[in-house]
Amino acid sequence: MRRNSKDRGDDNKLGIAQSPRRQAHSSSSVDGLRVSQNEGAVWREDVSLLVCPACRSPLDVLWSSSDDGALGHVRGACSEVFPVIAGLPRLLLGTARESVVVTHPGWFAAHGPLRDWSAGETPPRPDIQLVHRFDREWKQFADMRPAERTLIFERYFDLVQPKLLGPGNTILDAGCGGGRWAVEVASRGGRVIALDLGQSIELAARHVGPPALFVQADVRDVPLAARSVDLAYSLGVLHHIEETDLAVSRIVETIKPGGWFLIYLYYALDGRGRLFRATFTLVDGLRRVISSLPQFVLAPITTAIAGVVYLPLARLARVLEAVGLKALADRIPLRIYSALSFRTMRNDSLDRFGTKLEKRYRRDEVIGLLERAGLEDIRVSERPPYWHAVGRRPTVPGLDDEAEVESARAR
């Protein structure tokens, strides 16, 4: 909903604008900072979906221009203030803020009250360096051939009803990276809200564009209002953080009753034989060493691995399948890459060997994770990539809003 606006204020001052959930007079001020409103701030239409990652309270527009602004609280709640830079709300806490300040020094220099924004009270999280490494990866492999991207997308989304991706549905991409899957969802008509902790959120926003909403935020502090999305997905993200259960719970909180959650987590080699497991153990030991190397060393090594390991095995599987030996082809490691390009192999090799933190899940553990988050109707795909699964947030007649129950029944 677009809010009424008054005259434009000084964009270099923090002020308070009228909120969709709180009323503030145009002459109001907090800590002596004047009200500022701007009718041209299109991103303000989405503020009603956002909450503070620190206190979970609704956010107000403190000031805005067409692409920039600040979000915080008019009164009460907490004292946190969050910048909006290039149309992207930066709803970050602690050391995650530092990269934003480093990347946009001119912006913070021009907005005095936020110059010390990176100095937060939240303890640093140990995986922030992993986020920076993923940023570099997405920058290097930003583009993918549309046909190949669609092929991989359909593998991940085979359990999702196509109508859930269509017009009228709001869809959360929790850990969007460079925006590959957000592009696919947007092309099907869904309203995308994409989150990522790194600076790759800017790359994703350029790839997808409006009306999608992009927010720089942590999946462990998802800053979205409860019951605001019809479908949420997180693909290849949550096995790289320690607090996977917490992140799943936070994501599920944003899903409407009757809505669905799609997740992909690395599998724990379920059903694989001793030789396969022994080979994996050696490869995983190699990953632990390689992932500690600096980027300029890591990148050529993982490219070499893609050429020496990924490519021959993938092409062998393709040949076996072409001559009618599909059962044998399915037993070849990395068979999933048989129809994919060498560029994608390089990307995934860097992803696989460039990350120190990697968790793997058995099929029953994936089901347990979703059950602990309160989901039902859980289904795990029997097709690769393993494991990807969906679960539905239940409806509780008498407790859930009647309109939400009716909407869930319609789906």
pLDDT at 60: 92
The pTM (predicted TM-score) of the whole model is 0.85
Cα R_g (the chain), whole angstroms? 23
Residues 374 and 263 in one domain: yes
In sequence order, which residues have a C-beta less than 8 Å from that of residue 248 and are 6 or more positions away? 234, 238, 261, 263, 369, 370, 372, 373
Residues 264 and 369 in one domain: yes
pLDDT at 18: 37
Distance CA 317, CA 327 (A): 10
pLDDT at 7 over 50: no
pLDDT at 40: 40
Q: What is the pLDDT of residues 349-361, one digit of tens each?
A: 999 898 888 999 9
| Strand ranges inside 27-107, DSSP E | 29-30, 33-34, 60-64, 69-72, 82-85, 88-89
Rounded mean pLDDT, 19-46: 43
pLDDT at 56: 93
Dihedrals phi, psi of 245, to nearest 5 degrees: -60, -45
Rounded mean pLDDT, 142-151: 90
pLDDT at 126: 52
Final residue before a domain boundary, out of 353, 379, 402: 353
Residues 116 and 15 in one domain: yes
Q: What percent of the chain has pLDDT over 90?
A: 63
pLDDT at 399: 57
pLDDT at 124: 53
Rounded mean pLDDT, 281-300: 91
Q: What is the mean pLDDT of the chain?
A: 84
pLDDT at 300: 94
Rounded mean pLDDT, 78-87: 93
pLDDT at 150 over 90: yes
Rounded mean pLDDT, 4-18: 37
Tell me which H or E stretch contains 255. Answer: strand 255-264
pLDDT at 123: 53
Rounded mean pLDDT, 364-384: 97
Final residue before a domain boundary, out of 108, 123, 138: 123
Distance CA 16, CA 27 (A): 9
Distance CA 370, CA 248 (A): 8
Distance CA 266, CA 61 (A): 40
Contact yes or no for 85/68 (Cβ under 8 A): yes
Q: What is the pLDDT of residues 358-372, one digit of tens each?
A: 999 999 999 999 999
pLDDT at 139: 81
How many structural domains comprise the chain?
Answer: 3
Given pLDDT bands bounded at 50, 70 and 90, which one contains residue 400? low
pLDDT at 297: 92
Amino acid identity of residue 72, one-letter, is: G
Residues 118 and 4 in one domain: yes
Residues 138 and 228 in one domain: yes
pLDDT at 129 over 60: yes
Count of CB atoms within 10 A of residue 21's CB? 12
SS3 391: strand
Residues 256 and 118 in one domain: no
By mean pLDDT, which of 104-108, 111-115, 168-172 is the weakest?
Answer: 111-115
Top-confidence residue, 266 or 115: 266
Residues 157 and 214 in one domain: yes
- Sign of the Cα torsion 192, 56, 396, 367 reads positive
Query: Distance of alpha carbon 289 from its chain centroid, rounded?
Result: 27
pLDDT at 116 over 90: no
Distance CA 395, CA 17 (A): 36
Final residue before a domain boundary, out of 81, 104, 123: 123
Amino acid identity of residue 405, one-letter, is: V
Residues 203 and 328 in one domain: no
Distance CA 329, CA 315 (A): 10
Given pLDDT bands bounded at 50, 70 and 90, which one contains residue 35? very low
Rounded mean pLDDT, 324-349: 92
Residues 135 and 250 in one domain: yes
Residue range(s) defining the domain that contains residue 92: 1-123
Distance CA 119, CA 100 (A): 12
Distance CA 255, CA 172 (A): 9
pLDDT at 211: 86
- Sign of the Cα torsion 195, 201, 202, 203 reads negative
pLDDT at 266: 96
pLDDT at 14: 44
Residues 246 and 393 in one domain: yes
Rounded mean pLDDT, 393-406: 65
Rounded mean pLDDT, 175-201: 94
Residues 233 and 251 in one domain: yes
Given pLDDT bands bounded at 50, 70 and 90, which one contains residue 16? very low
The residue among 333, 362, 183 whose CA lies nearest residue 271 is: 362
Residues 254 and 318 in one domain: no
249-252 contacts, C-beta under 8 A, 24 or more apart: 249/372, 249/373, 250/219, 250/220, 250/221, 250/222, 251/172, 251/174, 251/219, 251/222, 252/373, 252/374, 252/375, 252/393
Q: What percent of the chain has pLDDT over 70?
A: 84
pLDDT at 112: 78
CATH for 242: 3.40.50.150
What letters, b where the CB count within 10 A reaches 16 and e where it falls short, cover 163-202? ebbeeebbbbbbbbbbbbbbbbbbebebbbbbbbbbbbbb
pLDDT at 21: 39
pLDDT at 94: 85
Distance CA 338, CA 334 (A): 8
Rounded mean pLDDT, 18-29: 36
Rounded mean pLDDT, 117-143: 71
Contact yes or no for 208/192 (Cβ under 8 A): yes
In sequence order, which residues have a C-beta less than 8 Å from that of residue 319 and are 6 or more positions away? none
Top-confidence residue, 232 or 295: 232
Rounded mean pLDDT, 335-343: 94
pLDDT at 30 over 70: no
Distance CA 317, CA 253 (A): 41
pLDDT at 405: 47
pLDDT at 67: 85
